[in-house]
Amino acid sequence: MSEQNTTTRLDLFIDRMVSQRACLDAAITQTAGRSEPVFELGLGNGRTFHHMRERIRDRDVYVFERAVASHPDSTPAEHLTILGDVRETLPAARTRFPAGASLIHADLGGHNREKNDTFARMISPLIEPLLAIDGLMVSSDRMYFDTLAEQPLPEGAVPGRCFIYRRT
């Protein structure tokens, strides 16, 4: 039997999940004790939202989503849900949250990597001004920021599957 060296979709999926958790846990620890809220961009099934809500007890976690369809255990309260397209709700959030967010997690992409990259380029300038000084941004896609610095990944995260940025 020949050895199989190709990376499968299952491998990529597992790498993304493991990396998401490692990066989120590191960012949650590093921003603990901050007063500014946390933003979850893209609720989906609500797995990462559930993880963040369970691990973050000191700050509100606001969810930006165009259509809520999450697991009942992972559905944010109405007052923490910012419904609509992030291309409109992110610019509006600048007035509502003048101090910005201590932690922003974005997982807005689908299966098409090219489309995800185009979208990441489009929303990077909308996310950038919302991060508080010394805040962290965790993303499943590479982002295109002018002023946020890419950070080293924590142990357990797979390069290219998750990204962390800091406002200095």
Which spans of this chain sit near ligand SAM (rule: CB under 6 A)? 42-48, 64-67, 85-87, 107-108
CB 135 within 8 A of CB 119: no
Nearer to ligand SAM, 2 or 78 (CB): 78
Q: Which of 34, 57, 54, 58 is nearest to 46 (CA)?
A: 54
Smallest gap from residue 67 Cβ to ligand SAM (A): 6
Q: Are 162 and 22 in contact (CB under 8 A)?
A: yes
Q: Which is nearer to ligand SAM, 17 or 149 (CB)?
A: 17
Whose CA is closest to 59, among 107, 22, 100, 108?
100
- In angstroms, the CA 128 to CA 137 distance is 9
Residue nearest ligand SAM (C-beta atom):
44
**Least separation, in Å, of the C-beta of 115 and ligand SAM?**
10
Residue nearer to ligand SAM on the CB measure, 45 or 149: 45
47 versus 55: smaller Cβ distance to ligand SAM: 47
